[in-house]
Amino acid sequence: MKGALANITEAVGHTPIVKLQRIGQGLAADIYVKCEYLNPGGSHKDRVASNMLRRAEQAGLTPGGTIVEATSGNTGAALALQAAIHGYTCVFVMPDKMSQEKISSLRAFGARVVVCPTAVEPDDPRSYYQVAKRIAAESTNCFYANQYHNPANPEAHYLSTGPEIWEQTLGECDVFAAGMGTGGTISGVGKYLKEKRPDTTILGVDPVGSLYYDFVKSGRITKPFTYKVEGIGEDFFPSTMNLKIIDDIVRVDDKECFLMTRDLVRLEGLYVGGSGGAAVAGAIKYAEASGKKQNILVLLPDSAQKYLSKIFNDEWMRENGFLDETSGLGTVRDLLAGKPSHIVTAHPSDSVRDVVGSLKSLGISQLPVLDGGKLRGIVHEVDLLRHLVSGEGTLDSPIATLVESDYATVTPSTKIELLQSVLSDAKIAIVTEGETLVGIVTKIDLIDFLSKRAPLAAVRPPTPLA
């Protein structure tokens, strides 16, 4: 029949761009979204899967073989769709924080799904990255998709999404915003748009807990920690991410991501998932800060269908403190309100002698180090002690070489429950708002905050006897 496609994979791409009408009202900028969730597999990863499989077949993969991948769900769904058409079997390895909908959708395609713990290091043999590698190594006629290091990932967006955006917008996209995960989307699209129009701003959006934001801002690798939003952020650096293409980066927390996701569905009719909410929240933060009249295009990666049991479940949202009616233990902002507002800092050129004097007079064990107003890291008493004992330096040596990254960064809106897990892994938490240092939180600060709240629990009426 004329007009029909040969199979569903030919429907990948050509997704619409829509202007937001209610969200972002009052901004000087106009916010537009590219609806990648309308791809047949439900996400922008359809483009990536098609290109990766094309490259794999060029390299010798034949039908009847096995596709193995570590995935948060979307790449798996896209590969499963391709496999169903082209005659492959699939094994997908996922972290246990992913929604049940994602797991079930992969199994619906006949794929085998292996679930691994989230809270382990990337090189831990139990991590979903390492388990996927092991399964691939043990299989014959196998394609390990390896989206985090496969150049066909960003290439897909350079060949497909980028040209499509340029054609649809007639080159009028001033800012392209996307969540930062494997880096394929922002690197591929960013490269194409920069080639066509070098003054295009490429804006990355990163969740609190991921490595990208602090590395882009300070060049330091801080302590990653777990977060709830799926599909963006990383605890390592994929080779598919080209950080040099990024002009600016904005950080968002879980609550901002999820509330914006719900608003996009209910106010704009855009049936999107949490990473889309994150990207829009980040774009709005950027627009508010810049105050410019610009056309900002945000990529919406996937569909709300995969998050009905989480983001769109009021009970789950309340349990995790993401709805306003549940206050929980409060936020970092509440904790900082009970501390002195003045923050003592050091500069890389300060001497060991001066820093030791500051630590001694203040009765603290570390100082944040700023250079030109930007956070460069912390200097800790342990590092000063090691420096002096080694005999490699003196009291008059500058602290520049002693600055370290054993800290995590949070925002004032970070929940106390999350801060608790952060401080179990990092020496201290640095609180930033944008690029501004607004506070420092140590373990004893958190203990003091929680101890002051403890009497409140004591005055609750006793449970009636049966």
Fold: same for 8-42+154-319 and 45-144 = yes
Q: Which residue has the tokens 């800790």?
A: 380
Report the pLDDT value the prediction gives residue 454, as an integer from 0 to 100: 65
Nearest to 255 by CA among 415, 417, 119: 415
Alpha-carbon gap, residue 87 to 70, rounded angstroms = 20
Q: In what order do the strands lie in the sheet with 295-300?
A: 17-19, 30-35, 295-300, 175-179, 201-207, 248-252
Q: Which residues are catalytic?
A: 45
Please tell me the distance from the alpha carbon of residue 319 to that of residue 465, in angstroms, as a whole number: 27
pTM summary value: 0.86
Domain 332-452 class?
alpha beta
Q: What pLDDT was estimated at residue 458?
A: 47
Q: Which CATH architecture has domain 8-42+154-319?
A: 3-Layer(aba) Sandwich (3.40)
In this predicted model, which residue has the larger pLDDT, 466 or 162? 162
Domain ranges of the chain: 8-42+154-319, 45-144, 332-452
pLDDT tens column, 223-270:
898 889 999 999 999 999 999 999 999 999 999 999 999 999 999 999
Pick the CATH number of 45-144 from 3.90.180.10, 3.40.50.1100, 3.40.50.300, 3.90.110.10: 3.40.50.1100
- Cα(337)–Cα(9) distance, integer angstroms: 54
Q: Cα dihedral angle (444, 450, 453, 456), rounded to 10 degrees? A: -130
Mean per-residue pLDDT over the chain, rounded = 91
**Which residues make Cβ contacts (< 8 Å) with residue 91, sequence separation at least 6?**
66, 67, 68, 69, 111, 112, 114, 135, 139
**Facing residues of 207 across strands?**
252
Q: DSSP characters for 246-304?
A: -SEEEEE-HHHHHHHHHHHHHHH---B-HHHHHHHHHHHHHHHHH----EEEEEE-BBG
Calculate ∠ Cα 30-410-93, nearest 5°.
85
- Residues 116-141 have pLDDT tens digits of 988 788 889 999 989 999 999 999 89
> pLDDT tens digits for 290-321?
999 999 999 999 999 989 999 999 999 988 88
Cβ atoms of 161 and 44 within 8 Å: the answer is yes
What does the alpha-carbon distance between residue 43 and residue 299 come to, in Å, rounded to a whole number? 10
Q: Are 337 and 438 in contact (CB under 8 A)?
A: no
Task: Inform me whether the pLDDT recorded for 455 exceeds 60.
Answer: no
Whether the predicted pLDDT of 372 surpasses 90: no
